Amino acid sequence: MCHLVKTNDPQKLPRLWPLRLVTEREDHASLGVVIIEDGCHPRQCVCFAVAISPAPEHHMRLPVTELVESGDIKVTIDEKFPQALGIDGIMQRVNIWGNSAWDIIVNEHAKDSPFFTNDFASGIELADDPRIINRLVPLAPDLALCIRPDLDARDLNMDATFKAFRCRLLTPSRNEVRAINQAIARCGEDLVFFRDHHDWVEPFLNKHRSFRVEPVTTEIKTPTGYALVSTIRVKSTKDND
């Protein structure tokens, strides 16, 4: 959130309760920058550009990059701020996944077709809803999970009870086991791990080695304009090999 504030007395800014003055720039005669922290929402900060006196036009027209390079503007980020954002994001995802549908997959063909795993620690598969990505999590050669996120869980209060959690037990066919291993092999960054060195393993991995998980942004037309949807997809890397 940005505001332009014109005042001859920047010391008045700390009186804007519940906003608290965090830092202030006073060494520039025509331009000052203050960062205000919201006392009610400690993770939110507001940046104010303060014109203390009428500024020369050549100063007001300088690109931000030049102001930063000259030292007229300094950007300081509290080291705890990105950490707090990361923790909040983790808690939101735990709440969604803990209140979603889980498939417990028992591989009855593990003797000659065990589940793989990889350095990405999971695989992804598309759901009917393009906003949702199912997570395949191999736990053992004969056991895996498929977490199917429920977007309605975003509206639930965060707690450790996971009241909306539900699960089912699946025993996939041999072809379905192969499809799961294909997803796991394609989602690996550099390494795929397997227990038994069967004759089919190396050809299978060579066939699916030239893929990786990449971010994808899709533009969707809406009645009022366009919406951008960001997600991840498995993409071929053969053009880059």
State which amino acid sits at residue 123.
Answer: G
Q: Is the pLDDT of residue 73 over 70?
A: yes
- Are 81 and 37 spatial neighbours (Cβ–Cβ below 8 Å)? no
In angstroms and rounded to an integer, the radius of gyration of the C-alpha atoms of the chain is 26
pLDDT band per the 50, 70, 90 thresholds, residue 76: confident
Token pair for 192: 């795929």
Domain ranges, ordered by start, for the chain? 2-76, 87-211
pLDDT of residue 109: 96
pLDDT of residue 206: 94
Q: Where are the beta strands (DSSP E) in the chain?
A: 2-6, 19-24, 32-38, 45-51, 101-106, 117-118, 123-126, 133-140, 143-148, 166-170, 192-193, 211-222, 225-236
pLDDT of residue 38: 46
53-57, 66-70, 94-98, 151-155: least confident range: 53-57
State which amino acid sits at residue 122.
Answer: S
Who contacts 6 (Cβ-Cβ below 8 Å, separation ≥6)? 50, 51
pLDDT per residue as tens digits for the range 116-157: 999 988 899 988 887 789 999 999 999 999 999 988 887 777
Q: Model pTM?
A: 0.62
State which amino acid sits at residue 96.
Answer: I
Helices (H), the chain: 57-60, 64-70, 80-98, 174-187, 201-207
How would you classify residue 121: left for phi > 0, otherwise alpha for psi between -120 and 50, otherwise beta? left
pLDDT band per the 50, 70, 90 thresholds, residue 115: very high
pLDDT per residue as tens digits for the range 161-199: 888 899 999 999 999 999 999 999 999 989 999 999 999
More confidently predicted of 25 and 143 = 143
